[in-house]
Structure 1
């Protein structure tokens, strides 16, 4: 990188990391208590963040540990992969496995001495952590519904895999550090995945990254594939969204959406959350080229000086959609067609029993905030393990942190219902619709960016909100509530009906006026609201919605129509 170009410290670090090697191997040694800041930044590209347990910060310093994230395109899993992740969370983590709101898995509480074993264990199950974090394309999201004899769903899910594979980092550092057999270990060729590059010949080897280059992207990059009637993955929240256009049960192409992102820094007025902008249309055979071109436009034009301004949404906002389209066409080498009128019209949480299309059923299980654990009468981890061991069915993670069991013979429906109930796992009918649509980020105690609680606070917050909704006969309404412990917005809090964003310890900013389809950014309604007052503050708005809504009007649209001033009026 030229010295004349002013860049952030992280950019210099990436360029000098020898294709994401850094000195990670050296710092895995027991003599180091933790990894240095530079290696922590490199390590993210390998799918792991160094964290500390904030519940135990004290005079004896920080208790360091690692979060390890698996990249799972479209959330598609085998039973054995899920069972392996459940085993790993017990052997190396804190005993819980978390479904992310990008359809991945996260292990929490992994100690440095166990980091290699955890990552290798994930890869032995034919999953990977490479590219689950860092300045690269992250997990490619797609509707997880396992409909069979359905060309549209199958094509979208295949596309998610193809995009993930095409945009994967090529560095062999990942293999070197985590998977290459060490003394006494045997090589299993079947466990070396197709995405791994040739093992380097020496320590000075630097891998070629044909898409990312030496410094990778200016910031993280997210892709989602969606149907108009079911944007369950919040396609407008992605850096790059592909919205399928379907005619006669066939995908004729995709509307291309660019520049979505939920993160912001309240103290920095130049930052903002954004939903993606509609740009152009491409045919199915053009998608991979278009995606690569857009990644390269961001690579070469994104802000590398200020990481707070580095997401692609800021480039789209500064240059405009038409400029971005022209640049994409230059990198593609062909013109893009104009947008199709198709747009998002709905979403489905996929919870409950559904016909699969081949005579079998699938079952969507709501998982409160994605945490698979055994606690009290609810033994999610043990119950799912029992079902998967007995039936061995494929599975899916949803974008609302739910879990889908696939390929169920109708004759086994009642038996599976019984097994789940015995472990305290509630049926779809036992959850309110708002509860099924709610999600939260982990926040305390593991996330270093959190300023307050999210996942641990969300159940009691939703209990209080449900009480208010019940008083207004609204428990059956589609009202989505997303909560984060800081403004970075990992749980996409700026675009649902109700967004709760951590602002200070035990205090939140409330956003209203988004919608369940997450196609619109809400407005800041109230700031610095104590956690115990959230439901009370929302109560009069829910009451007005019950009494004043127009025919067919959802809660988010009602708030959007009235606006902040209208909601404040008597």
Structure 2
């Protein structure tokens, strides 16, 4: 007997193409309480999550007040590319509809937080007016397409960018519900045919990326679907290695859930990206688990059915026998922060954005600095998978003036940061994310400071090490694919993972199950000390931890630092 579909499946099935009662509920801007479960579920497809301020929830409840309800709104920006005009339009929305800040995501998108119900429609409509969209930025569909953010003016990077935009457009749902609800479109109220997704869309979210071996900044193997470019000597794409089955999410103490890196499955021709993506989506649509959302990701289909089964199903779908994939090439992660030559006579400047948060704070007016830089110099911003921002198309004669402008607002540029600070990620977590078990963004700086102090003690401050911090095991900041992963378990308590590689081709292993926030640096200190004294020539920290193994590393730990 087939398992009963989850509640989310029933909501999607009865939604009339993602419409449900969203419009009616949003019209009640001053209504008490949150939205219905159905509206909450369906709004994800439109790029927004209803949330509440978790910092104030207990006190408000004790005083008889409702929760402080608000929305997160996510912009879908293929390849992270934005024009100067689009950036300025989004910057204006930060004040009009949000909390005066914006946040770059690890999937090259951009988010607004604390958007009120009465402002939601205006916020989303304004994003659409800027020729962007929030549609399919969340939900059980193909999410934002990521790729190398480097604005190099060569054939390879132009192809990656072009494929990302084309794929993003091709995989959008067909429903007109988004236009009806948020853009004043004619109310049809009936579900359009969704030839790719079907009436219940996908079992869960679906993440896609394109990369080339010399630039794996998108962490391509952490995606459900990846395309790794094969090129000739001129840099023209001659084919793509297709990787399938990656995903970061897991649940603590649930061994049936786990992070996973994608497997290379097959190789395709240079013009077959869209056809393959559609075939993989159909495979997931038809074979993903629709009864248990914790088991509903494509990675479990691949893990349990095997690569050969996946290749056979795709071969049947496409009507031809697909060859096995060749061995993966060596993947590298280049430095994209700082100054670089674009290759067309102009420059780009990669600006570090701590935790991706674009805000004006005492001593560092980051949002103002970026707004003035984009407006004054006509720069096109690019969001990176590391939550940083590339300012592209800088005229060489404007280089000094741009630096003076940024530094005048207190902006810390890449050369002033340690490699650890440059290569650290964190999710938003508390106080807005409903999934957060512990802090993320708000403890990012102190945790980085702890580890930096330990690195300095052992002469390792210039060592390139990736650290990823998340407030829950869902893994939005890809903690299991870095060298150090810090994953929230409960307020002030984290699990510690080590042993992944900087290039994103090996997962970390759990080292400590429960660790206090203030003990992260002290726990890593003996590992870093041993690394400094016993590393092999050229060995990275993650490689050292992998070579030592969990038992040897645990023997170095001081029990008192654990919770």
TM-score where L is the length of structure 1: 0.94
Residue 162 (structure 1) aligned to one of 136, 145, 166: 166
| Conserved? CA contact 2:30–2:118, under 8 Å | no
Residue in structure 2 matched with residue 188 of structure 1 by the alignment = none
Measure the CA separation in 2 of the matches of 1:179 and 1:474.
54
* Residues paired across the two proteins, number: 548
Residue in structure 2 matched with residue 482 of structure 1 by the alignment = 468
Post-superposition Cα deviations, 1:492-512, rounded to whole Å, max 9, x if no partner, equal 001100000001110100000
Alignment of 1:216 onto 2:201: yes
Measure the CA separation in 1 of the matches of 2:480 and 2:325.
26
| Conserved? CA contact 1:232–1:349, under 8 Å | no
Measure the CA separation in 2 of the matches of 1:266 and 1:522.
15
- Tell me how far 1:213 sits from its aligned partner: 0.4
Measure the CA separation in 1 of the matches of 2:236 and 2:116.
48
Query: What are structure 2's unaligned runs of at least 5 residues?
Result: 557-563
Measure the CA separation in 2 of the matches of 1:366 and 1:174.
34
Residue 316 (structure 1) aligned to one of 290, 297, 302: 302
Change over 3 Å in CA distance of 1:177–1:512 after alignment to 2? same
Instruction: Please identify, of 517-526 and 104-113, the stretch whose mean Cα deviation from structure 2 is larger.
Output: 517-526
RMSD: 1.2
Measure the CA separation in 2 of the matches of 1:239 and 1:287.
14
- Tell me how far 1:484 sits from its aligned partner: 0.3
Measure the CA separation in 1 of the matches of 2:496 and 2:215.
26
Measure the CA separation in 2 of the matches of 1:89 and 1:344.
41
SS state of the match for residue 480, structure 2? coil
Residue 270 (structure 1) aligned to one of 249, 256, 267: 256
Instruction: Please identify, of 29-38 and 65-74, the stretch whose mean Cα deviation from structure 2 is larger.
Output: 29-38
- Tell me how far 1:5 sits from its aligned partner: 5.7
Residue in structure 2 matched with residue 135 of structure 1 by the alignment = 140
Residue in structure 2 matched with residue 407 of structure 1 by the alignment = 393
Residue 241 (structure 1) aligned to one of 214, 217, 226: 226
Measure the CA separation in 2 of the matches of 1:334 and 1:436.
45
Change over 3 Å in CA distance of 1:360–1:31 after alignment to 2? closer
Residue in structure 2 matched with residue 468 of structure 1 by the alignment = 454
- Tell me how far 1:349 sits from its aligned partner: 4.1
Measure the CA separation in 2 of the matches of 1:545 and 1:520.
19
Measure the CA separation in 2 of the matches of 1:269 and 1:251.
40
- Tell me how far 1:394 sits from its aligned partner: 1.2
Residue 84 (structure 1) aligned to one of 74, 80, 89: 89
Residue 556 (structure 1) aligned to one of 507, 523, 542: 542
Measure the CA separation in 2 of the matches of 1:32 and 1:270.
40
Residue in structure 1 matched with residue 54 of structure 2 by the alignment = 54
Residue in structure 2 matched with residue 6 of structure 1 by the alignment = 4
Measure the CA separation in 2 of the matches of 1:37 and 1:478.
44
Measure the CA separation in 2 of the matches of 1:270 and 1:339.
27
Residue 177 (structure 2) aligned to one of 160, 173, 176: 173
Post-superposition Cα deviations, 1:144-163, rounded to whole Å, max 9, x if no partner, equal 11111x00000011000111
- Tell me how far 1:284 sits from its aligned partner: 1.5
SS state of the match for residue 438, structure 2? coil
Measure the CA separation in 2 of the matches of 1:477 and 1:4.
52
Post-superposition Cα deviations, 1:423-475, rounded to whole Å, max 9, x if no partner, equal 11112110111111101000000001101101010001101111111122212
Residue in structure 2 matched with residue 440 of structure 1 by the alignment = 426
Measure the CA separation in 1 of the matches of 2:508 and 2:359.
33
Residue in structure 2 matched with residue 388 of structure 1 by the alignment = 374
Post-superposition Cα deviations, 1:264-308, rounded to whole Å, max 9, x if no partner, equal 011322100101111111111111101100000000000001000
Measure the CA separation in 2 of the matches of 1:85 and 1:344.
38
Measure the CA separation in 1 of the matches of 2:241 and 2:209.
12
Measure the CA separation in 2 of the matches of 1:229 and 1:546.
28
Residue in structure 2 matched with residue 420 of structure 1 by the alignment = 406
TM-score where L is the length of structure 2: 0.96
SS state of the match for residue 54, structure 1? coil
Measure the CA separation in 1 of the matches of 2:382 and 2:43.
27
Measure the CA separation in 1 of the matches of 2:466 and 2:66.
39
Measure the CA separation in 2 of the matches of 1:13 and 1:165.
25
- Tell me how far 1:342 sits from its aligned partner: 4.1
SS state of the match for residue 86, structure 2? helix
SS state of the match for residue 453, structure 1? coil
| Conserved? CA contact 1:231–1:344, under 8 Å | no
Post-superposition Cα deviations, 1:392-423, rounded to whole Å, max 9, x if no partner, equal 22110000000011111111111100000001
- Tell me how far 1:334 sits from its aligned partner: 2.1
| Conserved? CA contact 2:382–2:391, under 8 Å | yes
Measure the CA separation in 2 of the matches of 1:328 and 1:349.
36
Residue in structure 2 matched with residue 191 of structure 1 by the alignment = none
Alignment of 1:106 onto 2:104: no
Residue in structure 2 matched with residue 32 of structure 1 by the alignment = 31
Post-superposition Cα deviations, 1:515-565, rounded to whole Å, max 9, x if no partner, equal 111211111001210000100110110111111111111110110011111
Residue 122 (structure 2) aligned to one of 117, 123, 128: 117
- Tell me how far 1:376 sits from its aligned partner: 0.7
Change over 3 Å in CA distance of 1:539–1:399 after alignment to 2? same
Residue in structure 2 matched with residue 44 of structure 1 by the alignment = 44
Residue in structure 1 matched with residue 559 of structure 2 by the alignment = none
Alignment of 1:18 onto 2:23: no
Residue 152 (structure 1) aligned to one of 141, 148, 156: 156
Measure the CA separation in 2 of the matches of 1:481 and 1:20.
38
| Conserved? CA contact 1:45–1:133, under 8 Å | yes
- Tell me how far 1:208 sits from its aligned partner: 1.1
Measure the CA separation in 1 of the matches of 2:86 and 2:458.
43
